[in-house]
Amino acid sequence: MRRLLCEGPASKASFLNVGKLNPKHLAVSLVGMGEDGHFASIFPDSPVLADLIDVDAPPGRCEANPTSSQYRRITVNLSYLLRSNRIVLLAFGERKRLLLEQPGGLPVEMLIKQDKTPVVAVWAP
């Protein structure tokens, strides 16, 4: 994974194994959004999407292997992210801005429209 994600100064970053996460409360969660409306590896074509975006599900980590990717994905479910005081959603590019305005039933809509935890969307061209 390090080979795929980290180059230059970022190569010194350390990774936190989400399997070891078990806090009852998070101060801030920072998540990115893709052009397909996914966030935090919660993809629209995940076979377990309904479980991942269920705000009333038990908080936890999940396999979220989208059919569109050859890579295995492990993430936390939306219920887990909602333990945060605030969620910051990063989005870059015009297409993502449009998705923020009209998410059209994509996973990011569940994040934006839930009312348990404030979400701050940060967009840049």
Residue 11 confidence class, pLDDT cut points 50, 70, 90: confident
What is the tens place of the pLDDT at every residue in 15-63?
666 666 667 888 999 999 999 999 999 999 999 999 999 999 999 988 8
Whether residue 88 contacts residue 29, with contact meaning beta carbons closer than 8 Å, is answered with: yes
pLDDT greater than 80 at residue 83: yes
Residue 6 confidence class, pLDDT cut points 50, 70, 90: low
pTM score: 0.81
89-109 mean pLDDT: 95
Residue 6 makes CB contacts below 8 A (sequence gap 6+) with: 12, 13
Q: What is the pLDDT of residue 18?
A: 62
